[in-house]
Structures are given as C-alpha cells and as structure tokens.
Amino acid sequence: MGREDELVRLQEILRSSSSAAIAVVSGMGGLGKTQLAAKYATENKAKYPGGIYWLNGRASNLAVQIIYKAEFDLHLPGLDAAKERLQESAAIAKWCWDHWLPKEPTLIVVDDVADWAEVRSLMPVESRFRVLVTTRQRDLLPQQHTIALKRLEPEQSRSLLAALEEVGRVEDDRAFADRICAGLGNLPLAIELVGSYLRHDRHLTLSEIWERLRSNGVRDEVLERSPQYEMAAELGVRAAFDLTWETIEPEGKRVARLLSYFGLDWVPWELAERVMQRVEGEEYRFGKWKARLENASLVEFEPERIGDCRLHPLIQSFLRDQPEEEEIRSAFVKEMIAIAKTMPDNPTTKQVNQFKGLELHVQEISKRHIAELEEDDLLWAFVGLARFYEGQALFRDAESQYADCLAVTQRLFEGDLGMVALSLNNLAALYDSQGRLSEAEPLYLQALQMTQRLFEGDHPNIALSLNNLAYLYKAQGRLSEAEPLYLQALQMTQRLFEGDHPDVARSLNNLAFLYKAQGRLSEAEPLYLQALQMTQRLFEGDHPDVARSLNNLALLYQTQGRLSEAEPLYLQALDMRKRLFEGDHPDVARSLNNLALLYKAQGQLSEAEPLYLQALDMRKRLFEGDHPDVAKSLNNLAGLYKAQGKLEQAEIYYQQALQLCEKFLGANHPDTQIVRNNLAYLRQQQQSIPPTTSSRSAFRRLLRPLRRFIRFLLGCFGIRSTR
C-alpha cells in the first residue's frame, strides 16, 4: 500500500509510556485506515503477547463488545459476578480492563470511531495496553498522537493499480495510469475497485477505462488541499464503484444488496445465505458469488474469518442507493425478527456465544425498518435484545432497549393499545429485577389498567400484568395484596392454555412461593410439584427453569423437615447447573450452598464443610472477595464450625461476614442483624461453657512436676500414693 512511513510513525506513538498509549489514524473514507491498522497489527503481533483485539468503533454497543471479548476470548474469572454487581455495561467494561488477562502488552484496535467521547471513556488506562483508533474525524487527539492519512503518492497509486490489474497495462501506459489514479483522488479503495474492474476485462485499455470514468463524473485531478477535494475524491470512489457494479451479474448484485441491509459489522455468510433461502428456497446456495464479490473488492474479508464478510462504509452507502430489492429486504427483516425471538432471557454461556455478534444486525430493524414491521413483530425489534442483555446483567443496555420500545409504541399508537401496555410491563419488570420498586409500581399499574380496558374477560396480557404486580407487592412485603392477584393470574392462565404452558408453570411457582413466605407449606407443595412436572415436560434435558423448580421444591421439603426427599432434588439441580454454566457461576454457588445447608441440617457436618468451602471460594472468585453473597457463605461456614465445636474459627468467619454486611447492606439491614446476633450468641456461649478438653490437658501438663515432687515426699515417709 505504500504506507511504510506511516507504519514507522505508528510504532513510535505506541511505544511504552506511563499510561495506555493511544494512536489515531484519521482520514476520509477510502484512504485505507483499516488496512493500515491491520498491517500494523500483523507485523507487530510478537510485540503483543497479551493479544490483539478488534472493536467496532461505529457500533453503539462498544461496552458490550469489550465484555464479550473478556467473556468468550479470555474466559475472564469473576465476570459473571461483576455483571450482576455492577449492572451498568460501562462499569463492567472498565472492570474487564482492570482484570484483563494475561497481564502482558495488549493491542486494542477500535475501527471507524464516530463518537470519540464515548469511546475514550471506555478505553483502558494501564500502561500494558496500546490503543489504535481509526476515524474519519479530524483533530481527535493532539497532533503528536495522530497520523493524518493523505492520499497515496502517484508512484504508490500506480504500483497498487499495476499489482491489481496483473496484465502489464499500467507499465505500458504510465501516463493514462497516472491520470486515472489522480482522477480517483489517489484513494486506495477507488484504485482497488478499478483494478478489479480491469482484471475482469483483460482486453480493456487504460484510455477506455478513463473515458468510462469520465462519463461517470470523474474529472482531472483535484488538489488535496482544495475544499472540494473530499467531495471529488468520494465521487471518484463512486465512479469506480459504478464501473465495478456494471461487471457484476444480476444474481451477484442481489447478494451484494442483501449484505447492505446488515449492520456495519462482520456478517456470517451462513446467516446471509439463510436470509436468501427465505426468498429462493432451502436449496439455495451462494456458491461462486462469495468469491466474486470478494474479488471485485465489494466486500472485505480476512483469512482468520473465512466464514464472514464485511462492507466498507462507503460501499454500503453506494449499495443502499441501488434499486430496492423488496423481497430480499422483507426476508432480512423476518430473519432478524426470528433471531430476536429466539434470544434467551436467561442465556447460558453457550447461548451467549451463539448469539454474540448478531446484536448490531438485529438493531438495524429498530433503526431502519420499523415502518415495515407487522404489529405482532414490532416489540421484538427491541425486546429480544433487551431480554438478552438483561439475562447477562447488562441492565443499562436492556433499559435502553425497553425505553426505546416504549417511546416508539407511544408515538405510533395513541391511547390504549396492547403494545403500549406490554412496553410498560417490560420496563417495569426490569426496574423490579433491579430493586427499583417505586419506579416499577406506577408502570405496572398503568399496564394492568390499560390491558383491562382493552380486553374483556381472559387474556394473556391481563394475566401477565396481574402476575407482575403481585410479584412487586410480595417484594414490598404486601403479601395479603399479592395473593388475590396471583390467584387471578393462575386461574386465568389455566383457562387460557390447555395442558402445559410456561405461563401456567410460572404462575404455579409464584403462588407456591407466596404460600411458603406466609408459612402455608402444605398448600405450597402441590403447586411446586405441578410446576416442576410441567417444566420437565416443556423443556427436554437441562434448562435453567427446571433447575430452579427442583431447587424450589427441595427448599420446601427442607423447610418441612423432609430432608431425605430434599437431597436428591438439590443434587439434580446442582448437576444440571454445572452442565448449563461453564466454570464459576452464581447459580452453581447457590446450589453448592443449598446442598451444604441440607447436610448440616442432617448432621452430616463433614460432608457439608467441603461444599461450603467450594461455594465460598467460588463466590470470592466471582465477586472479587467483597459481596453480600460472600458474607452469606462466611456466615454459613461459621455456623458449621460452631456446630463442630470449632469456636475460634467460627468467630473469625462471623466477624468477616459482619464486616461485609455492614459495608454493603448497612448496620440496620435484617441480614446484618442476623450475623451480628450470631456472633454475639457465639461469644456468650464461649464465656459460659467450661474449659475445653484441650485447656484441661494443658493444665494437667503443668501439674505433672508438682505431682512427681509430692510422690517423692510421700515415699520418704513410707506412704504409697494412689492414682
């Protein structure tokens, strides 16, 4: 590419410093900023044993990209817990940088940055990181950190064109070659397009290509410093694109137009092919068109991502100017909605990895295609991503999706409408899950009142609103207000859905949990059993809902003192969660803790101890030592040691648990008071009990010399001692 000087300058900027060095490669579209960054990364790979990571700077989910790199490329320990604790994606991203592994020099490439203020706030600060930014913006950073790419020199442009056209026409007619390159603004992207066009027709002369470019609007060279340079240069790229576009067969054009509907990120060829199959049938395959578009320089590809492709932003904009492919656009919208509908709300590690990288493409629906959506699909343009983010504890990203959904439905539909009510419910449920109960209640009430006005009699949306409001009241301790709502919701879902249905199972679980909280255990049991049996029929194999139902029923049996019945359920739940979640996970730690509690209740203290220790160690890894869940494990382990008579160890763990509870929950929180009372009772017990066996043994050892002296005196007087 003829960018050797720029590469040297990049190396100078990114040399060691006291903080994370940042280098910016700036310039208009088509100058080869991304290619320069890729060349630097390739040539300097050995200098970054910590790895080289690429981020899409134009996408709105930069923080999520960072989190995904940490989760799936690094498998960073403690990340799941950090997500639950910090909630805000920007804070989680910062945590990822602070804990990035290995702690070696690492290169972060942020390509095509549009909003530098947001990007800068998400970048690492440690000196082991180097950040390479590409952008069209000028003056992003001071001059000493910036490489402002200029157009290629005439000799460089000519060499690039010669390498691309392959036949020798450039060497035979340098004058026309220079004229062509100058008319294209000496932009690498435009020259690549023309080179591909020349390679397509080996008999075409340079004078002929120049005339075709002129007919498409290209003029003689415009000076780089001229105010019209960027406009003229982009016109040159457009003219080069138009020439190349003429050589593409109709079917290839349809494939390229399809790719333009996706977001500006890597697109799996398999996914694009699946969209086309909605139009052409399941037997359709891209075949030669992948290589054809790549060879024409219309799509970018990398050897390391052989199954993916990407469009240059300029190429995407040119493609979107082409005549609309209505069938293909409709198929794209339907495929993205289908993906949104399958995004799980409680994703396992495997599921997150499966959907990673698709978010930007799904977001295109809410950005560009809302007007084309059928009413039933409107919410899914937002809700699929929102649930997916919420299930990963990325609450701010989820809130953004839910809030946008509510705003869109309120704008599109005046007055009462089911879409608005569902949007209210979704946002309220998110607030509810975060403990923002005062913000959730008015939204739940609006949603319930709206759905009751909209639908006479039974309706799933009314049952949903009843369940949600009841759950909120239960969380607020308003149990008598929650019960009639739960009962109405259960009876309504049972009338609405014959046989098994997730909504019925959910209502059964909710009502059972309320009865348990009220101490009505005999009424809770049949509901828990029905819920478990139903989830097992609904979900084959392992599923988080099945594990949760097993755990709920086991906890009820333990509360009833039916310990032998609780044990196999706890074991099943633990084994299932270990299969569902790789490595450390809060649900696995919770199951370990529950099983240990059961063994302690059974008096099997030696079996409980290793489980308590595993749960404690896992929570310390997950939450970096400080978290209320760690305090719970410390308190439980202290209780075990107290039961074993290891009072000194118990006191140490109670003290640690109390410190954490006071730090996170405050001195007056019920959990803090429980731990404080446990510690006080232990100390009272220590003062009231007689000396321990070890204390008596030590005392006897002190008396031995005195006893020997007394026996010696008695022997002197002929008196025999007895034991």
**For residue 286, what is the domain's CATH number?**
1.10.10
Tens digits of residue pLDDT in 247-265: 899 999 999 999 999 998 9
End-of-domain residue from the set 328, 352, 386: 328
Confidence of residue 387 (pLDDT cuts 50, 70, 90): very high
Q: Are residues 108 and 158 in the same domain?
A: no
Burial class (CB in 10 A: 0-12, 13-18, 19+), 1: middle
User: Are 70 and 122 a contacting pair, CB within 8 Å?
Assistant: no
In a domain, 45, yes or no: yes
Q: What percentage of the chain carries pLDDT values higher than 90?
A: 58
In a domain, 531, yes or no: no
Confidence of residue 224 (pLDDT cuts 50, 70, 90): very low
What SS3 state is found at 705?
A: helix
User: Are 430 and 395 a contacting pair, CB within 8 Å?
Assistant: yes
- Where is pLDDT greater, at 217 or 350? 217
Tens digits of residue pLDDT in 176-197: 999 999 888 888 989 999 998 9
Q: Are residues 57 and 15 in the same domain?
A: yes
User: Are 293 and 301 a contacting pair, CB within 8 Å?
Assistant: no
Q: Are residues 139 and 162 in the same domain?
A: no
Alpha helices in 539-604 (DSSP H): 544-559, 563-580, 586-601
pLDDT value of residue 249: 94
pLDDT value of residue 579: 93
User: Are 487 and 463 a contacting pair, CB within 8 Å?
Assistant: no
Give residues with Cβ within 8 angstroms of 111, minimum separation 6: 33, 34, 37, 54, 55, 56, 57, 58, 134
| Peptide bond preceding 142 in cis form (omega within 30 of 0) | no
Question: What letter does residue 111 receive in the DSSP assignment?
Answer: E
Task: Give dist(CA 508, CA 489) in Å, integer.
Answer: 10
- Residue 337: both structure tokens together: 């909605």
In a domain, 448, yes or no: no
Buried b (16+ CB within 10 A) or exposed e, 345-384: ebbbbebbeebebbbbbbbbbbeebeeebeeebbbbbbbb
Q: Are residues 117 and 8 in the same domain?
A: yes
End-of-domain residue from the set 247, 265, 297: 247
Q: Are residues 141 and 36 in the same domain?
A: yes
Confidence of residue 229 (pLDDT cuts 50, 70, 90): low
* pLDDT of 228 over the 80 cut: no
What SS3 state is found at 345?
A: coil
In a domain, 615, yes or no: no
Task: Give dist(CA 325, CA 687) in Å, integer.
Answer: 84
The mean pLDDT of 536-554, rounded to a whole number, is 93
Nearest to 313 by CA among 34, 689, 566, 621: 34
The mean pLDDT of 634-656, rounded to a whole number, is 94
Q: Are residues 242 and 260 in the same domain?
A: no
Q: Are residues 169 and 91 in the same domain?
A: no
Q: Which residues pair with 134 in a beta bridge?
A: 25
The mean pLDDT of 37-47, rounded to a whole number, is 92
Q: Are residues 121 and 205 in the same domain?
A: no
pLDDT value of residue 186: 87
Query: To 10 degrees, what angle do helices 418-433 and 395-412 make?
Result: 160
In a domain, 561, yes or no: no
Q: Are residues 188 and 281 in the same domain?
A: no
End-of-domain residue from the set 271, 295, 328: 328
Domain count, the chain: 4
Q: Are residues 256 and 311 in the same domain?
A: yes
The mean pLDDT of 157-169, rounded to a whole number, is 91
Domain residues for the domain of 126 are 4-148
User: Are 462 and 495 a contacting pair, CB within 8 Å?
Assistant: no
Confidence of residue 700 (pLDDT cuts 50, 70, 90): low
pLDDT value of residue 231: 65
The mean pLDDT of 124-149, rounded to a whole number, is 87
Strands 146-148 and 52-56: unpaired
The mean pLDDT of 74-98, rounded to a whole number, is 85
